[in-house]
Amino acid sequence: MTDGGRTARGPAGGDDATRVLAGDDPAAVAEAAAAIRAGEPVAFPTETVYGLGADALDPTAVARVFELKARPRFDPIIVHLADAADLPRYAIDEDAADPRVAVLADRFWPGPLTLVLRRRAVVPGIVTAGLDTVALRVPAHPVALALIRASRRPIAAPSANPFGRVSPTRVEHVIRQLGGRVRIVLDGGPCAVGVESTVLLLARGRAVLLRPGGLPIEAIEAAIGPVGRIADDAPDAAALSPGRQASHYAPGARVQLVDPWPGPGLASAPGERVGLLAFDDTGRQAALFAADGPFAAVEVLSPCGDPTEAAAHLFDALHRLDAERLDRIVAQPAPETGLGRAVMDRLRRAAAHG
Ligand code: TXA
Ligand code: MG
């Protein structure tokens, strides 16, 4: 075992203990890379959320990731690269040569941006769920980059949570949700961005936002011009991005987005345990936070109302509320600018559950 390694048993129990290894220890990264090369999934940090990674070129290893997460096979997985120069190995020339790809890669990689381009045949069908496109990103976390380099493989990685649940932004979240089911977790500390990457379709000369995320769409449009949107109910939405089904990011309790804020949903029924997920604490709503107030638990995403700070705290706050055994979580809407769009996207999907 590596120095600093910790052992944990998760809710799944079983004989296989999960080991948490220090991500800044080269020996730990080498051990995790060996596991990746042997076809075994490994949980690792990125700047957005923790991922559950496997060798993207090994269909059996990728199948294990689907099984571990109970992820439906129709939902494709992002392939993580250490270097933008590797992109043409996995995307066809026609899409890789789109000048917007170079502009975005230069400006935003490594970073929370995923590009969806038509795939080369080398990418196994299980990674792309049979689509003719592949999602590629260069993550901006030293541990993720070290793992990809040491394994000398592109790493296919969804977020390291059971399908449909809240994404992990701390190593404890991974242990709580997948402990006992994954043998190695690399610890890279809390994720700085806190919401998943922005997913942008750039295939066939199109430019369409498939998922708002850690890179604001404003920054992308400033770099490459206008980007299209697809509504969840658009006829081609499911075909372009199968992961967009409404219910996602769901904690155990029912989430209710109170819009307009404050609104009638804030009242609780007798005996009901309600938690508050507040966007800000700007003074207007001090009464809501009072110790003898109506809420069993309160989380404030950004006291001063900064959407970037709110995004960084969102999943951690949902995980903490999840631990409070609440009947219901009421959430205050975030302003839909910058990372506020990603926050609202996640809250809407969490609220669509159940
Ligand atoms: O920040 C992130 O993106 C994190 C970290 C680990 O990199 N990963 C992540 O993966 O959020 P996941 O699997 O939870 O979400 C990937 C999203 C899904 O909505 C999926 O449908 C979409 O990307 N996606 C993947 N491949 C695609 C493709 N070929 N075409 C369209 N959408 C794709
Ligand atoms: Mg996910």
Kindly tell me if the per-residue pLDDT of 317 is higher than 90.
Answer: yes
Report the nearest atom of ligand 1 relative to the CA of 114. 3
Answer yes or no: is pLDDT of 129 > 70: yes
| Whole-angstrom distance, CA of residue 161 vs CA of residue 177 | 6
- The answer to whether 48 touches 214, Cβ cutoff 8 Å, is yes
Which pLDDT band holds residue 270 (cuts at 50, 70, 90)? confident
Query: Residue 119 has what DSSP assignment?
Result: B
Predicted local confidence at residue 284, as pLDDT: 61
> Per residue in 51-69, is it b (16+ CB within 10 Å) or e — as a string?
bbbbbbbbeebbbbbbebb
How far does the centroid of ligand 1 lie from the alpha carbon of residue 65, in Å? Answer: 13
**Mean pLDDT, to the nearest integer, of 330-344?**
96
Q: How far is the CA of 106 from the centre of ligand 2 (A)?
A: 26
Q: Taking the mean position of all CA atoms in its chain, how far away is CA 214? A: 9
Q: Which two tokens stand for residue 233?
A: 């109910």
User: 91: helix, coil or strand?
Assistant: strand
Which residue has the least CA distance to atom 12 on ligand 1?
A: 158
Looking at the CA of 167, name the nearest ligand. 2
Ligand 1 pocket mutation pick from 46, 117, 159 by most atoms within 8 angstroms of CB? 159
- The residue among 190, 184, 150, 189 whose CA lies nearest residue 6 is 184
Residue 58 pLDDT exceeds 70: yes
What's the 158 CA to ligand 2 centre distance in angstroms? 6
Instruction: Encode pLDDT of 73-126 as tens digits.
Output: 999 999 999 999 999 999 999 999 999 999 999 999 999 999 999 999 999 999
